[in-house]
Amino acid sequence: MQPFTFRLERVRNLREHNEETARHEWANAKARWQEEQRIADALRQKRTEAADFGYQQKEPALRCAMYQYLNSLEQHLDAQLARVAEAAAAEDRCRRLWVKAKQDREALDNLREKAYQNFVRDQLRQEQYVLDDMAKKVQSI
């Protein structure tokens, strides 16, 4: 009995490798997005703390400095939010590429499974043919 060989095994292995690569890229993009989000949250917290502290001050010079500092924080926060949006878009793009690579690999897995089922069916059919042939020869003796 011959062993099962899938003719597209090399293509399946390549697609499996592509899926793993895409999954790692997605994981890296997701980590980058989460880090950018964490930085934005830290800036928001810093802005809230600075505003709370500044509003308690009675001296006009301190209030003026506080408003300048808050304005600077707002600019940094706006820039950070743009980086968060960019990272989110990259994460979404990588996720879609990973899903596509996964679907491509799963399609070949399904083809492999069908080919294996056909192989087993053909092997059983050949075995049954041999057994039937043997039975006919025994009966004829």
Q: What is the CATH number of the domain that holds 84?
A: 1.10.287.1700
Number of structural domains (the chain) is: 1
Q: Is residue 3 included in any domain, yes or no?
A: no
Query: Residue 63's pLDDT is what?
Result: 85
Q: Is residue 87 included in any domain, yes or no?
A: yes
58 lies in which domain range? 9-140
> Pseudo-torsion of CA 69, 73, 79, 80, nearest 10°?
150
Q: Which residues contact 26 (CB under 8 A, 6 or more apart)?
A: 91, 94, 95, 97, 98
| pTM of this structure | 0.77
Query: Residue 23's pLDDT is what?
Result: 97
Query: Residue 59's pLDDT is what?
Result: 87
Q: Is residue 2 included in any domain, yes or no?
A: no
Query: Residue 60's pLDDT is what?
Result: 86
Q: Is residue 109 included in any domain, yes or no?
A: yes
* Euclidean distance between the first and the last CA atom of the chain, given in angstroms as a whole number: 28
Taking the C-alpha atoms of residue 31 and residue 52, their distance in angstroms, rounded to an integer, is 32
Q: Is residue 121 included in any domain, yes or no?
A: yes
Interaxial angle between packed helices 60-140 and 9-55, expressed in degrees from 0 to 180 and rounded to the nearest 10: 160
Query: Residue 1's pLDDT is what?
Result: 67
Please, what are the averages of pLDDT over each run of 10 residues along the chain (141 residues)?
Answer: 89 96 98 98 94 85 88 96 97 97 96 96 92 83 71
Q: Is residue 75 included in any domain, yes or no?
A: yes
Q: How many helices (H) and strands (E) does the chain have?
A: 2, 0
> Pseudo-torsion of CA 105, 110, 114, 119, nearest 10°?
40
Q: Is residue 39 included in any domain, yes or no?
A: yes
